[in-house]
Structure 1
Amino acid sequence: MRVIICGAGQVGSNIARQLSREGNEVTLVDQNADLIKKIGDELDVRGMVGHASHPDVLEAAGAQEADMIIAVTYSDEVNMVAAQVAHSLFDVPKKVARIRSQQYLLPIWADLYSRDHLPIDVIISPEVEVAHAIARRLKVPGAFDMVSFAEGKVQVIGVRLDESCPIVNTPLRQLTELFPDLNIVVVGIYRNGKMIVPTSNDQMFPGDEVYFAADVGHVGRAMPLFGHEEQEARSVVIVGGGNIGLHLAKIIENDMKNVSLKIIERDRKRAEKIQEELEKSIVLNGEALDPDILNEANVSRAETVVALTNDDEANILSSLLAKGQGAETAITLINNPIFGNLITDLGIDVVVDPRATTVSEILRHIRRGRIRGLHSFQDGAAEVVEGEALETSKLVGKELRNVKLPKGTIIGAILRDEEVVIPRGDTVIKTHDRVVIFALRNTVRKVEEMFSVSLEFF
């Protein structure tokens, strides 16, 4: 697949990294010559210096032969024009654009992006995606990541284990023996910087980050097994009333009716504006590093504090201050990945990486076939995808113990006639089953090829 990526920032460079190591032909366009040289030295991609929406630049980048353009520069307008030029002059089949300004995304202007006007096939709004990602975590307290598949009936959940976990040092095969009616499968273990797909003989250890697939109705029973019995938040404090904070507040007001919400925003005009847009949340104007403001927000009695300012250091410090005052859980937005692995050691419970969230959403639209569900974990170390088994699939009609999946993949769950089936050795996949599969980075391409031939995605 030939892909042009406009914008060599964190999102663009990470998409380029993902696609290039899977053998795609990637051209990366940016005005920053130093950035292009640096990425060109690190990755097997073609780098071009130029303005991403200029026709001559896109022509030189190979737009006439491109299968897709992904416009993720820092300018909404450049991204939009790049998509228009790619469509009108070069007939690029698929256009993906990142658009940050919410004024462009209001429902009343939805027709703007139709094929007859500004033809963008996929619009990515990082603020909206991050807000939804945080909301998912709030709904499963104790999880540092949670993604839903199969119309919400299957969840893939990431949990961090400590010494209190009752099933550490236990071979995974014994979990099935001990809890035969518990519909979960451990699909991945992240340990010492490496993701593995475990076998039935593997064990989990304190410090592991474990991913398991579960029937949504069994999550409440499963979490205590992994050492997490946190109560669902009833009191939440958001630090930072920017676009992410405002989106998250609206999700909480709409979907979590029992939650008491306070927002701390340092800019008075912004605080007044978001107070007008919210129905029952309380907005406090002040600095989140001010102990008096934290007291006024009553963080000592909050189950969860979510730090969402544009300043990583402020997010880290306000989270630690809130934890010190008694907040049970801290969810912290971190833009600089250098901080990510450090701050969990300081006591921060969940790190939110907007770059990784945006990359996951873009990948969902890049994978061949009609992919409905996809999520990338641990900076692309693994992906979870969802597809439908057709009659031609080699998965259909055989016991799973006799199906040869690519090494580094595991089936986490199957949805059949609205019922979740947790796969065992004697499970037989039937035509039209929805299959949720966890795959390591180096096997994603093999799985994708297998799916495009015999397991066609939605």
Structure 2
Amino acid sequence: MKIVIVGAGEVGFHIASRLSLENKDVMVVDTSDEALKRVSENLDVQVVKGSGSSPEVLIDAGVKKADILLAVTDSDETNLVACLTCDILSPATKKLARIRLGDYDAYHEHFRTSAPHIDTIINPEIEVVKTIYRLMRVPGAVDVGEFEGGRVKIVGMRLEEGSLLDGLRLSEFSSRLGGVRPLIAAIVRKGQLIVPHGNDILQAGDLVYFISEATKLNEVLRFFNRRMKPVNRVLIVGGGLIGTRLADLLESKNIHTKIVERNPERCRYLAERMNRAVVLCGDGSDQSLLMEENIKDMDFVVSLTDDEETNILVSLLARSVGADNTITKISRFSYMPLMASIGVEQVVSPRLSAINSILQHIRKGKVLSAMSVHGEQAEVIEAVALQTSELVDTPISKVSFPRGALLICIIRDDEVIIPSGESVIKPDDRVIIFATREAVPRIEKMLTVKLEFF
């Protein structure tokens, strides 16, 4: 697979990093010498200097032989022109564009269906708002992914001392917990990702990723000393693109919303635009303002300013004056591993949301969705089992899954199946597979072609 990536920023760099480790042929295009130097010195990919919107540059990058073009610069206009130019030069190449501005929202379908066309539009702001709302709906969750239209959830949750699972061996789940119980997909312990086996014992402080049907989630949460509860009051700090989109969503759900924004002009715009949300002009990192707004009565405080240090400070201040739940927007990937150590657990990233959206479109096989787990260490992949796949018509115990991969769910019609060794995947079943980064290339092959041995 040959992939041309236009844009060597954070999203482009990390997508290139992921794909190069999977031995894909990657070419990165950017106008910045510094960005290209970072790519070429750290990744096993090729680079071309120039604008991705230029036909000559795209030809030099090999777009005519590319399977996929990813346009992920910080400029919506550059991304659009790059894809439209690519469609003229190489119509068969699949084109994905990152588009951030809300002005284009009404035209996404037009871009996909008109000629020249763009196969997929990815809006990080829309995706991160979806992520925030998923976190709000699962109390205590550090990470939440949804599959099969929300029927199946994967939840990452910190295991508290004294909970029912603390000190329990995975092989004892069936006898100790009864019929409705979590299926453990992964454990993160002291920063290390563990693909669990029956002999593994859960420990307080572990970040546990588990699978549950949505209808049974409340029953499963009791094992983590949690329970579902409605979200009624939310304070948003930062009235930018993401804050505005989130406020719109919360208003549509009849959730009482307050927005704190320090820019007076933006405050006036928000006050005119919002229907019911209360707009406060002030500094969200001002402790006295947070206390005046009865922060302890808020179900969630969401920090969405353009400055990540401010977002971290707001979350820490909110927790110190009584807020139970905070969600913090972070853009720099280098900050992510540090967040849990300072008490900031629920973190969202527009860039990571963009990467998750992109992954499903560059995977081989009929992949429906993909979600990164614990940074870039692993993925959860939802796919359709093709007739040609190595997975079908064979008992799971006889399938040669690579080390670091785990089949965690089979969905057949309206039935959600937690697989055992005797389970058999049928063609057109939906499967959900957890795979470490190293196991992903092998899983891609398993999802597409049955290997023949002679």
Question: TM-score normalised by the shorter chain: which range applies?
Answer: over 0.9
- 1:113: how far off? 4.5
1:351-370 matches, cutoff 5 A: 351-370=347-366
Answer with 309-318 or 48-57: which moved more: 48-57
CA distance in 1, matches of 2:345, 2:414: 34
Structure 2 residue 246 is matched with structure 1 residue 248: yes
Instruction: Call closer, same or farther: CA 1:25–1:282 in 2, change over 3 Å.
Output: same
1:52-67 matches, cutoff 5 A: 52-67=52-67
Corresponding residue for 1:403? 399
1:41-80 matches, cutoff 5 A: 41-80=41-80
Answer with 445-454 or 343-352: which moved more: 343-352
Partner of 2:110, secondary structure, is helix
- 1:454: how far off? 4.9
Corresponding residue for 1:114? 113
CA distance in 2, matches of 1:383, 1:13: 18
CA distance in 1, matches of 2:391, 2:181: 21
- 1:195: how far off? 1.8
Is the CA contact 2:157–2:209 (under 8 Å) kept in the aligned structure 1?
A: yes
1:159-193 Cα offsets, whole Å, 9 max, x none, are 12232332122110111222231153101112233
Corresponding residue for 1:293? 289
Give me the identity figure in percent: 38
Instruction: Call closer, same or farther: CA 1:409–1:343 in 2, change over 3 Å.
Output: closer
Normalization by structure 2: what TM-score? 0.94
The aligned amino acid for 1:377 is V
Corresponding residue for 2:371? 375
The aligned amino acid for 1:60 is D
Corresponding residue for 1:25? 25
Corresponding residue for 2:421? 425
Is the CA contact 2:8–2:29 (under 8 Å) kept in the aligned structure 1?
A: yes
- 1:227: how far off? 3.9
Instruction: Call closer, same or farther: CA 1:444–1:170 in 2, change over 3 Å.
Output: same
Is the CA contact 1:127–1:244 (under 8 Å) kept in the aligned structure 2?
A: yes
Please give the root-mean-square deviation of Cα atoms over the aligned residues, in Å.
2.0
Answer with 177-186 or 395-404: which moved more: 395-404
Corresponding residue for 1:202? 200
Partner of 1:211, secondary structure, is strand
Which of 126, 129, 132 matches 1:131? 129
Corresponding residue for 2:162? 164
Instruction: Call closer, same or farther: CA 1:422–1:239 in 2, change over 3 Å.
Output: same
Answer with 358-367 or 284-293: which moved more: 284-293
Answer with 307-316 or 396-405: which moved more: 396-405
- 1:415: how far off? 1.5
- 1:232: how far off? 4.0
Is the CA contact 1:235–1:260 (under 8 Å) kept in the aligned structure 2?
A: yes
Which of 407, 414, 432 matches 2:410? 414
The aligned amino acid for 1:114 is T
Instruction: Call closer, same or farther: CA 1:396–1:343 in 2, change over 3 Å.
Output: closer
CA distance in 2, matches of 1:12, 1:393: 30
Corresponding residue for 1:16? 16
Is the CA contact 1:142–1:229 (under 8 Å) kept in the aligned structure 2?
A: no
Is the CA contact 2:137–2:228 (under 8 Å) kept in the aligned structure 1?
A: no
Is the CA contact 1:63–1:92 (under 8 Å) kept in the aligned structure 2?
A: no
Answer with 372-381 or 219-228: which moved more: 219-228
Answer with 300-309 or 269-278: which moved more: 269-278
Which of 217, 221, 224 matches 1:223? 221
CA distance in 2, matches of 1:326, 1:432: 49
Partner of 1:219, secondary structure, is helix
CA distance in 2, matches of 1:69, 1:338: 26
1:186-213 Cα offsets, whole Å, 9 max, x none, are 0111223332211111112222211111
Normalization by structure 1: what TM-score? 0.93
The aligned amino acid for 2:90 is F
Which of 310, 317, 341 matches 1:314? 310
CA distance in 2, matches of 1:178, 1:431: 35
Corresponding residue for 2:382? 386
CA distance in 2, matches of 1:31, 1:393: 41
Partner of 2:406, secondary structure, is strand
Instruction: Call closer, same or farther: CA 1:35–1:390 in 2, change over 3 Å.
Output: closer
1:71-90 matches, cutoff 5 A: 71-90=71-90
5+ unaligned residues in a row in structure 2: which ranges?
none
5+ unaligned residues in a row in structure 1: which ranges?
none
Corresponding residue for 2:264? 268
Is the CA contact 2:2–2:68 (under 8 Å) kept in the aligned structure 1?
A: yes
CA distance in 2, matches of 1:448, 1:209: 27
- 1:131: how far off? 0.7
Answer with 87-96 or 150-159: which moved more: 87-96
